[in-house]
Amino acid sequence: MRRLRPSSLASARFLVLAAALAAPGAAGAAGLDKPLDKPEAAIGQWDMTLEGGSRECRLALRPERQLNGFYIGLPHGCRRAIASLVNAAAWNISAPDHIAITDVRGASLLDFAREPDGTLTAATPSGEIYRLTFVGPLPLGSLTASAAPAVAAAPQAGGARPAPQAAPGRPADVTGRYAVLRDGGRDTGCMVTLDPGGRAYLAPACRDQGIVTFDPVGWRLASSRLVLTARKGHTTTLDQQPDGTWMKDAALGKTLGLKRL
């Protein structure tokens, strides 16, 4: 029988804990009743609200490794509405009872410190105070088996961490025709078709030079993210938003979105 390496065992324990947090009845354990001293203690959905204001965002703190932390999911609209989130790329436990949201270089954008009532607060350079409140576990099915190799492959802090590996998903829910969106959800008039065989096709007469130059020829799902492959072989990754559109992380370059037709 194959013997698991220590790193594999640690990764397996991490995923078991992550799955437990995603199970019904775990809501109180991930940010209110337990110390936030390890990443698995913070995995779940959190509401970020402006103190004394109306701004609110639903964040998903996920277990997949990213550069300098773990993958953070947030609606594209939050990036537009909250300046501190424009370059958000990851999250981590910066200190006991602290959750930091960081950019791609690992620099802290917002560092939330835990308050006695279980919420966490962070101040922006302009003096705004944001509160982070635990809502509940991640949606069932969002913790895919692919998270295991993604975490197992990640080196210790200080080294480069790979992006999440390709994940099994439900391609049938993704295939179809999509309008290409740019800044502010503007429809470019271009259309991309994602077929069941993993091929992508850009409709003729598209006038958006960026997508024409990229020229998508393939697609796949990787850890619940949509990866488009260009004709020359490079890729771009998009995250699904609450309204069903797929948006490229604004921290990684010019806005790109796909909206089902």
pLDDT tens string 101-113: 988 778 899 999 9
* Record: fold of 171-260: Lipocalin (2.40.128)
- The DSSP code for 5 is P
Structure tokens at 191: 């259309």
> Where residue 168 falls among pLDDT bands split at 50, 70, 90?
very low
The long-range contacts involving 36-40, CB below 8 angstroms and separated by at least 24 positions, are: 36/93, 36/96, 36/97, 36/98, 36/99, 36/114, 36/120, 37/93, 37/96, 37/97, 38/93, 39/14, 39/63, 39/70, 39/92, 39/93, 40/14
pTM above 0.85, yes or no: no
pLDDT given at position 251: 58
CATH code at 6-152: 2.40.128.10
Look at residue 216 and tell me whether its pLDDT is greater than 90. yes
Contact 214, 248 (CB under 8 A): no
* Percent of the chain with pLDDT strictly greater than 70: 73
> Where residue 217 falls among pLDDT bands split at 50, 70, 90?
very high
Pairing state between β 129-136 and 44-50: antiparallel
Look at residue 91 and tell me whether its pLDDT is greater than 50. yes
pLDDT given at position 228: 92
Contact 169, 144 (CB under 8 A): yes
The residue-averaged pLDDT of 143-172 equals: 42
pLDDT given at position 86: 80
Look at residue 127 and tell me whether its pLDDT is greater than 80. yes
Structure tokens at 20: 């437990």
> Where residue 15 falls among pLDDT bands split at 50, 70, 90?
very low
Among the listed ranges 137-151, 190-204, 239-253, which one has the minimum average pLDDT value?
A: 137-151
pLDDT, tens digit, 9 for 90 and up, residues 61-81: 988 887 678 888 877 778 778
> Where residue 33 falls among pLDDT bands split at 50, 70, 90?
low
The residue-averaged pLDDT of 144-154 equals: 36
The residue-averaged pLDDT of 38-61 equals: 87
Write out the residue limits of the CATH 2.40.128.10 domain(s) in the chain.
Answer: 6-152
Query: For residue 148, which of 121, 166, 169, 173 has the smallest C-alpha distance?
Result: 166
Query: For residue 131, which of 117, 141, 147 has the smallest C-alpha distance?
Result: 117
pLDDT given at position 21: 42
Look at residue 153 and tell me whether its pLDDT is greater than 50. no
